Chain A
Amino acid sequence: MENLKNEMKLEFLSKSANESFARVTIAAFAAQLDPTIEELADIKTSVSEAVTNAIVHAYSGSEGIIKIHSRLYENLIEIEVIDTGVGIENIEEAKTPLFTTKGSLERSGMGFTIMESFMDELKVESVVGLGTKIYMKKKIKSSGKELSL
């Protein structure tokens, strides 16, 4: 692994108002790597999906703590989104495109599909009754050296 450049931890209540707080905060942190507009949008969307999953599924309306842990390397960002909610029984099923247990709430079932395609790596660890940890990694190609907008 390359040299660690920076690291941060964030903790907040599982309130839906914090979805925008989480993605804007991670975008501000990731900006230190000089990502392109598109890379930054991909990171924001993926974090929004992971945090929404924790709010909607892990805590399902009740209040809990969501933690985000992020590390920056030379050309790479690692993000973990951790909850201590109900956990996921069948991870493969949850990752299936368009699969949702909350269709009545107009959830599209695209959360994991978006995280998988917008990031370079996605790992999901979950224990029923204990919680879920989502690990995501994205390479930042530009590092904006030749282009500063």
Chain B
Amino acid sequence: MKVEHFVEERILKILITEEIDHHTSSKIRTRMDYEILRFRPKKVIIDLKNVKFMDSAGVGLMIGRYKSVKSCGGNLEIENANSKLMKIFEMSGLPKIIEFRNTSELQGFSNEIESILI
């Protein structure tokens, strides 16, 4: 996991680089909550572009972080979840309460290519 803090804008950017399951999520959760409580950011952006696998543990992880960010008065955004991750997020209804975005055009493009090929 990589963490960037933009002091002036009070934005915390978290890049998750490991697979997200029940085993890895407790470590990810501890680190994220530590950073959130330390900086009390206005906005937290979780970038999932490097996450190749996620199961339902990812949903619990994001709901939990949504709550901890909110309790510090901030907002949570999730970026660049691939189509496999989005399938699980959509099932959970999470996109109704958390903003999901795609920032990299390349990511969107390769997702599209993948869906054409399959």
Contacts and interface: CB of A to CB of B under 8 A. Distances in A.
Interface of A: 16-17, 19-20, 23, 36-38, 41, 44-45, 48-49, 52, 55-56, 105-111, 113-114, 117, 142, 147, 149
B19 A20 contact: yes
A110 B23 contact: no
23 contacts: A17-B23, A19-B22, A20-B53, A36-B118, A37-B118, A38-B118, A41-B84, A44-B53, A45-B55, A45-B84, A48-B53, A52-B55, A106-B63, A108-B56, A108-B59, A108-B63, A109-B56, A110-B88, A110-B91, A111-B56, A114-B88, A117-B91, A142-B118
Contact of A19 (B23, B29, B59, B92): B23
Contacts of A105: 60
Interface of B: 19, 21-23, 25, 29, 53, 55-57, 59-61, 63-64, 84, 88, 91-92, 114, 117-118
A123 to B, nearest CB: 20
B113 to A, nearest CB: 11
B55 A48 contact: yes
Contacts of A106: 25, 29, 57, 60-61, 63-64
Contact of A38 (B56, B61, B84, B91): B84
A37 B91 contact: no
**Interface SS of chain B: helix, strand, loop or mixed?**
helix
Contacts of A109: 56
A48 B56 CA distance: 9
**Interface SS of chain A: helix, strand, loop or mixed?**
helix
Contacts of A107: 56-57, 60
Given A17-B23, A106-B60, 12 more contacts: A16-B23, A19-B22, A23-B53, A36-B118, A37-B114, A37-B118, A49-B56, A52-B55, A106-B57, A114-B88, A147-B117, A149-B117
A110 B22 contact: no
Contact of B59 (A37, A56, A110): A110
